[in-house]
A and B are shown apart, each in its own frame.
Chain A
Amino acid sequence: MGNNRVGIQTIAFSRQPRIASSYTIVGPLEGKGPYALEFQEILPDDTLQQKTPEKTERLMLEMAIEKTLQQNDTKISDVQFYIAGDLLNQIISSCFSARTYPIPFLGVYGACSTFCEALGLGAIMLQGDFADQVLIGTASHYQTAERQFRYPIEMNIQHHGTNHHTVTGAAAALLNLGTEGPRITHATFGSIVDWGLKDANDMGSAMAPAAFSTLKQHLIDTGRKIEDYDLILTGDLGKQGSKMLKILLSHENYTGLERIQDGGASIYSDQQKTGAGGSGSACVAVMTLGYLKNKLNSSKVKRVLILATGALLSATSSLQGDSIPCIAHGIALEA
């Protein structure tokens, strides 16, 4: 077993890579939500004067990356890897954004868990001395996700309480072994969990077992309790998925459940009528690099766990009646 592994699924980073700088951008709807003040930029409209929302999504990602580099006074040539992912087929937003940067690019996909996958992989590269600086990014857009996974935007649909609303936004972070920013202490990569749920309109319930499985394994591997964390940010289980996760945890007598907060269930207010809450690869990313990072920086919390979940379905698999394979990746951060 490698020296940097604990338990079965968890990596412990002895060198503790840091999130040196980061930038979050959200759309106008998220900018009216309860966490609006936590994000660095709120777009006045969700087009950025682009002809298509796909181009907007790409541009948001590029903007987030530019600002992340600027904030740390870093040139792209000083970064060794760019790791990014998004929701779109062939992860076009990430691949196309990588055209701008002449450095090695790795595309990742984990649906709404993409951000944690990229963060964990970036930290591994730094821990292993394969890079001095790694850039990670993700973006999603309500309109691009709707058309790919659901229906045309203006179509007559009555949404259920379990439907999610894809977050329009982008986030990027620069990771290095410096002295600034939150430290990445552990990563628990999840295995696929599929408990046979098929309803694409209720992804929260489908993803809750994945979140449960990774959280349980993380706690076993590290020998920690939920109470050892000031906050556990799940994303994006939504209201329905959070409820199911808490049922699963109480079923096995876990305590400290009040410390678990879901990014998707929090990002919009009830008045915004977004069903179960936000989702999309940008959701947990902006909540982590906005809200959570602010909390860590101001020492309101010392140790947190991000538990990003992804429903790895496609529009085709849903129509063919397949169940939804889900995944959750956990990353522990300390101030």
Chain B
Amino acid sequence: MRPQEYQQLVQQNLPPRPVLKNTLWAFVVGGLICTVGQVILSLVPFFEPSKTGSAAITLAAMILIGSLLTGFGVYDELAEVGGAGAAIPITGFANTVTAAAMEYRREGYLQGMGAKMLIIASPVITYGILVSFIVALIKSLILGVL
């Protein structure tokens, strides 16, 4: 058998991916996380009436929840079921930072945790900044503010 034939044979024999099941669970888990966020967002104005203020508090609360669930070893289990439903919300972002912080803590606070805490999250930050720069540039060009 030639390697190319074998590669094709591997593709034909991979275990089936349960796409429908995964999608449904991603919807349920992602939906639940967003519902929790919405509840917090609806309650916060009782303490913090400004719109930007309550949005910031909600985000901080979700990050705290994501980090705590990671610390208790629950979030990875949630992601095993929920997939992208657990990875996409900001709780998933908090999870990647906390998980890396926990992992690299063993190599010390500076060269371990400090240096590697963002090892998974940094592409999101890097390309987030790049895209926002491009969008801002386009907006400025269109409005002629430059």
Contacts and interface: CB of A to CB of B under 8 A. Distances in A.
Nearest to B17: A160
Interface string B62-98: 0000000011010110111011101100001001101
A155 B7 contact: no
Given A151-B120, A152-B102, A157 B79 contact: yes
Interface residues of B, number: 36
A205 B10 contact: yes
Contacts of B102: 152-154
Contacts of B78: 156
Main secondary structure of the interface of B (DSSP, over half): helix
B92 A156 contact: yes
A91 interface: no
A247 interface: yes
A202 B120 CA distance: 22
Contacts of A52: 106
Given A205-B10, A244-B10, A156 B79 contact: yes
A99 interface: no
A45 to B, nearest CB: 13
A158 B14 contact: no
Contact of B99 (A153, A161, A273): A153
B34 to A, nearest CB: 16
16 contacts: A52-B106, A152-B100, A153-B102, A154-B70, A154-B73, A155-B99, A156-B99, A157-B79, A158-B79, A158-B84, A160-B17, A161-B17, A196-B7, A209-B3, A243-B13, A248-B6
